[in-house]
Amino acid sequence: MTSPSTSGASEPWTTRGQRVAGPSLSVDLPFACALLRAEPAYEHDGHTARTLAKYRDLRVVLVAMKAGARMDVHETAERLALQLLVGRVRLVLRGGAGEEASEGAFLAIDTEHAEAVECLEECAFTLTVAWPPDHSADADDGPVEM
């Protein structure tokens, strides 16, 4: 079991003494969700997120949201995968279409289709962002903008 560092909202968590890009990473997700819900941004903005894994072509971000919160998805040239851990969300797609998902659901979204995530019930989910082969994110960039 790991205890993510809470040294600052902009700093990535460490796992087992490693940064978020190692050959093997492990995070206690229920504990990490509790830490997110305790952050001031969660109370103030209705959502908060932290990077769990960060590689040149892939990011995994843990997101916690309050019911009624909306998180716009700014990076649309990437493929996304959303794994809902608890709660219920509505994924808003380009053109206004949407798809609701409940605890345990997995959604895969092709490039340029996601617009936002709306929280219908207090929720937590992992959001995986994968860059196409011809465009990788710099491994030293900060957390993914959501």
Chain-centroid distance of CA 102 in Å reads: 16
Q: Please tell me the pTM assigned to this model.
A: 0.78
pLDDT by position in tens, the chain (length 146):
334 433 333 344 444 344 566 677 788 899 999 999 999 999 999 999 999 988 888 899 999 999 999 998 876 678 899 999 999 999 999 888 899 999 999 999 988 888 899 999 999 999 999 987 766 555 444 444 43
Q: Which residues sit opposite 84 in a β-bridge?
A: 125
Sketch out the chain's domains with CATH numbers. 29-130 (2.60.120.10)
Which pLDDT score, from 0 to 100, does residue 62 have? 95
Which pLDDT score, from 0 to 100, does residue 75 have? 60
User: Distance of CA 41 to CAs 83, 115, 129, Å?
Assistant: 22, 22, 22
Chain-centroid distance of CA 94 in Å reads: 19
